Structures are given as C-alpha cells and as structure tokens.
Amino acid sequence: MKKQIGFIGLGIMGKPMALNLLKAGQTVIAYDINKEAVQEVVSLGGVDATSLEEVAKQSDVIITMLPSAKHVKEVVLGEAGLIHYAKAGTIVIDMSSLSPVDSLEIATALEQKEMAMLDAPVSGGEPKAIDGTLSIMIGGKPEHFESVKPIFDALGENTILVGDNGSGATAKLANQVIVNLNIAAMSEALVLATKAGIDVRKMYEAIRGGLAGSAVLDAKVPLILERNFVPGGRIDINMKDITNVMDTAHSIGVPLPLTSQLLEIFHALKVDGKSRDDHGGIVQYYEKLANVEVGGKNVESTKL
C-alpha cells in the first residue's frame, strides 16, 4: 500500500534508502539540513519539505536516520519536533542506532500522543543501503510492524521483528559488538601477516573459504588492501554505538572486556585524526603499533 513517508536524514545511509523507497513507488517527503541531498531526492521524484512541521503534517509514516540520540530526540521531541504536529496514528520509524533507553523514552512520549514508534536500526553499510539489501532489526508492536512491512521490504532483505520497543536497538548493539570486534581481530591478523612478509592478498584468498571467512572479511579486506577508508560506516559513528553498548551492558551487569578495549581503540583513532574514516580503518591502530602498512609500503617487514 502506498504511503506518504517523511524521511529525515539524507546522509550516507539515508539518501540511498530514500531513493529505494521512491523506486518502490512510495511518496517520499524529504528533509535534511543538507539541501543538496534533498534536491537529489526531489529530482528523482521526492517532495521537498522546508520544516519538520511540514514533514509531520504531510506524512503517514516518518523515518528518521540521524547520527545520534541527541539529534533524534530534537527532531521528534524538541520544541519544533514532530510530536507537536503529526496526527494521531502516525508511525515514527527510527532507523538510527540508539540505546534501548533512548528508544523507549521516545516511544513512550509518542504513545502518549496516540502515535507509535518502531526502533529499526540497520546493518550492512552504504553498499547494502544502495542495493536495498539491509538487515533490519525491529522493536515495536506486531500490528505496527505489519502495517509498514512493505516499507521495510523496499529497504532490506532481512527484516525481523525482534520484540517490543527497544528490542531492535538492543539487537543493533549486539550486532555492532560482533562486527567491530570482527574487524579488530581481522586487523590483528592482517598486520601479523604483513609483518611476517607473506602475500596478504593470497592469505585472504586462502582463509576466506574456511571458518575464518565472514561477510566482514569479504567487505573490508579488499578495501584495506587498496588503502580505501572512504566511510561506509564511520569510526566516530561506530564509537558512539560502542559507547552505547558499554553503557547498556554496565547498567544491566554485563562485563564486556573485549568491547571495552575496542572502545579505547576507537578513542585512540579519534585522537589520531581518523574518526571520519570507515571502521575498516581500525587496522590503522594495529599498523601504527607494528610499524607496517597492510597493502602499502611496509616500513619494517620481517620475513619468516
């Protein structure tokens, strides 16, 4: 069923998602402080909204895809927020990566205004946002999920209702632990192989079909070998997610020793000016320790 969809946040992930909704025949009312991104969506059939009020009044469903909880709360609950203008029955789908606490706070406030919220963070990065094959983990009421499922189907190939509000956000935290620790472990291995003097590309081909193989390995190793750290998932955004992981874990009594070390690695990369690199750039932390460069000029390669 065709719906009027407000889409707020047309960044690395949001813009291709909005374009996929247009391709699926939905009406997209676009809003972002980046007017060039808005105009690109408008040029392909979207509707330009000049304010949050305009988005709210025109939309049946509103999607937010923003950098942090601060931005989402301001857009939804702030003085000029959606909550003041959207009609009863509106469903807000937050596809950002928030903590479960923040997601529940927003959901509760919307419910008091006879609106609904689904927390629906995504995984897959920019490539899967572009081709519409994101994994989407969703928290909320089953009836609300079913009413907007065609929207999710236009954006992803694996859309799962995990549980009630906050469940999608929690699933995303778990996802971020697995993805980023996988990148860190992979980075250690690549630096080890580089320092030992073997052909890293051939090593990658040798191990990718075994138990060490993973979607992360296939997505990140070729880019690292090309020294391509153009962000699909930025280090600073992932650092925000891992900070949420640690806060949530500590609040429920779950020690996460490996994840806590990962957070320190992110902070070190931020200090080193790498915060806007793709999170595949975690490898640069290990390269600096070992004084080598994977896929580049090795400063001190030691052949076995």
Same domain, 8 and 53: yes
Single-letter code of the amino acid located at 268: A
Residue 302 counted as domain residue:
no
pLDDT in tens, the chain (304 residues): 678 999 999 999 999 999 999 999 999 999 999 999 999 999 999 999 999 999 999 999 999 999 889 999 999 999 999 999 999 999 999 999 889 999 999 999 999 999 999 999 999 888 899 999 999 999 999 999 999 999 999 999 999 999 999 999 999 999 999 999 999 999 999 999 999 999 999 999 999 999 999 999 999 999 999 999 998 889 999 999 999 999 999 999 999 999 999 999 999 999 999 999 999 999 999 999 999 999 865 544 455 5
Residue 297 covered by a domain: no
Question: How many separate domains does the chain show?
Answer: 2
231 shares a domain with 198:
yes
Choose the catalytic residue: 128, 172, 195, 220. Answer: 172
N residues, the chain: 304
Taking the model in full, what pTM does it have?
0.87
Cα–Cα nearest to 218, from 235, 234, 201 = 201
**Is there a contact between 144 and 116 (Cβ–Cβ < 8 Å)?**
yes
Query: Could you tell me if 176 and 137 lie in one domain?
Result: no
- Looking at the structure, do residues 126 and 181 belong to the same domain, yes or no? no
Calculate the alpha carbon distances from 27 to 23, 58, 250 in Å: 10, 10, 42
Q: Are residues 91 and 140 in the same domain?
A: yes
> What residues make up the domain containing 247?
171-290
The token pair that represents 118 in the structure block: 């689904």
**Shared-domain flag, residues 61 and 98:** yes
Give catalytic status of residue 172 as yes or no. Answer: yes
Domain match, 135 and 190 both: no
User: The domain that contains 177 carries what CATH number?
Assistant: 1.10.1040.10
Do residues 95 and 61 both lie within one domain? Answer: yes
**Which of 26, 105, 118, 110 lies closest to 64, judged by CA?**
118
Cβ(66)–Cβ(96) under 8 Å?
A: yes
